[in-house]
Structure 1
Amino acid sequence: MNLESPKVTVTKSEEEVFKFLSDVKNFEAIMPENISKFEVLGDDKFLFALKGMPDIVLKKKEEVPHNKIVLGAAGGKIDFSLTTQINKIDNGASEVQLLFDGNINPMMAMMIKGPITKLIETLSTNIPKAV
């Protein structure tokens, strides 16, 4: 299952956005209001939970300086990745988009597509406010 957030414009350079999102503790600042738990588990790993959903642990899998950060599921029942694409618009602005890629059976995909879509849309919408 592949999902894409809307592209959002951030009035910061791609370096500033990359630096902010490379620090996993900053993900707490872009989480939705219905978050029930957020815990940093290391320099490259964090756990979060939304009300009514199980805990999700994300671990940094890959970084391409100033352009891409890939977080992947660290355990759990679903194998997925969340990729942040950062593109330069000009020296003071960049464009950010989140991409969800999950190896999910069709029945599970039907159940989680709505909540995951809403989550990545909320995360991307909150990035310009938090950075």
Structure 2
Amino acid sequence: MNLASPKATVQKPAQYIFDQLTDVKNFEKLMPESIAKFEVTDADSFIFGLKGMPEIKLRLKDKTAPNRVLLGAASDKIPFSLEAKIDETSAESSDVQLFFEGEFNAMMAMMVKGPISKFLETLASNMNKL
């Protein structure tokens, strides 16, 4: 299953956004209001939980300055990735788009598509909080 957020325009240079996204503690600023738990477990990982959803552990898997940050599931039980693509549009402005890729069976995909789409939209719209 592949999902994409709308592009979010942020009034910051690409390198600034990249630096913020590679510091995993900053993801707390992007989380929806329904966050029930957020805990940094080490320099490259964090656990978050939304009300009514299981906790998810994400780990920083790859990064390419200043245009790409890749997070992935820390567990292989449900393999998925969350990628941020950053395009600098001017010296003080960048577009950020998030991409979710996961391997789910058809029933699971049907159940999680809506909540994950909404989650991606929230993360993208909160990019201005960085």
Mapped partners of 1:77, 1:123: distance in 2: 24
In the other structure, the counterpart of 1:38 is: 38
Mapped partners of 1:114, 1:29: distance in 2: 22
Are 2:2 and 1:9 aligned?
no
User: Residues 72, 26 of structure 1: CA spacing in aligned structure 2 closer, same or farther, 3 A cutoff?
Assistant: same
In the other structure, the counterpart of 2:85 is: 85
Mapped partners of 1:127, 1:106: distance in 2: 31
Q: Which amino acid aligns with 2:39?
A: E
In the other structure, the counterpart of 1:20 is: 20
CA RMSD of aligned residues (A): 0.8
Answer yes or no: is the 8 Å Cα contact 1:72–1:82 preserved in 2: yes
The offset of 1:76, in angstroms, is 6.1
Matches within 5 A, 1:1-131: 1-75=1-75, 77-128=77-128, 130-131=129-130
Mapped partners of 2:67, 2:20: distance in 1: 12
The offset of 1:77, in angstroms, is 3.4
Mapped partners of 1:2, 1:66: distance in 2: 23
Q: Which amino acid aligns with 1:80?
A: F
Give the SS at the match of 1:59.
strand
TM-score by length of 2: 0.98
TM-score by length of 1: 0.97
What does the per-residue CA deviation read over 1:66-120, in whole Å, with 9 as the maximum and x for residues that have no partner? 1000000011631100000000101000000000000111110000000000001
Give the SS at the match of 2:53.
coil
Q: Which runs of 5+ in 2 are unaligned?
A: none
Query: Would you identify which runs of 4 or more consecutive aligned residues in structure 1 move more than 4 Å?
Result: none
The offset of 1:6, in angstroms, is 0.1
Answer yes or no: is the 8 Å Cα contact 1:56–1:76 preserved in 2: no
Identity %: 52
Q: Which runs of 5+ in 1 are unaligned?
A: none
